[in-house]
A = this chain, B = another copy of it.
Amino acid sequence: MTFEISPVGYVRSALKERTGAPKQGWEGAPDARLEILPEFAECLDGVEAGQDIWILTWLHEARRSVLKVRPRGDMRNPITGVFATRSPDRPNPIGLHRAKVLSVDAGGGLEVEALEAIDGTPVVDIKPVLDRACDGGTGLPILKC
């Protein structure tokens, strides 16, 4: 059984290659732009500057046959199953990135802070960050927390 996913947009970034890219956003990643395809632009209605979002991507350069790695490519780390790591190499290479929205334009462009995904990475979903501790139990997105 397989499921098909399609890009809803693409990452535009100064990061051009996987080699040398930061492994997490907070490790020096640059701000980046998400260009959402016109047919999905209305899915952004309600996404606001200042909000934290989850960006789900398709890590298009990943090797899907890899089941174990040394975390962070560091030979001092023990061989570990990929589900216990954030390795991009994994059976279904879906990237999960938390970022703050800097601006949204009506045409489907989103500027986001500190994103470690490389230029051209397909975006497959965007979700608001929820935080049980901050939303008063409403289940609604957190703007500020």
Contacts and interface: CB of A to CB of B under 8 A. Distances in A.
Interface string A103-145: 0000000000000000000101111101010000001110000
Contacts of A7: 1
Interface in A50-103: 53-54, 56, 58, 60, 67-68, 71-72, 78-86, 90-92, 94, 96
Interface in A34-64: 40, 42-48, 53-54, 56, 58, 60
A87 B61 CA distance: 29
Contacts of A91: 6, 8, 40, 43, 125
Interface residues of A, number: 54
A4 B24 CA distance: 25
A17 interface: no
A5 B54 CA distance: 19
A79, A84, A132: most-surrounded residue (chain B CB, <10 A): A84
Given A47-B81, A81-B46, A124 B86 contact: no
Given A4-B4, A6-B91, A23-B139, A45 B125 contact: no
A80 B44 CA distance: 8
Nearest to A82: B43
Given A43-B83, A43-B91, A46-B84, 12 more contacts: A3-B124, A6-B91, A8-B92, A27-B139, A40-B67, A43-B81, A72-B139, A84-B128, A85-B141, A90-B125, A94-B125, A96-B127
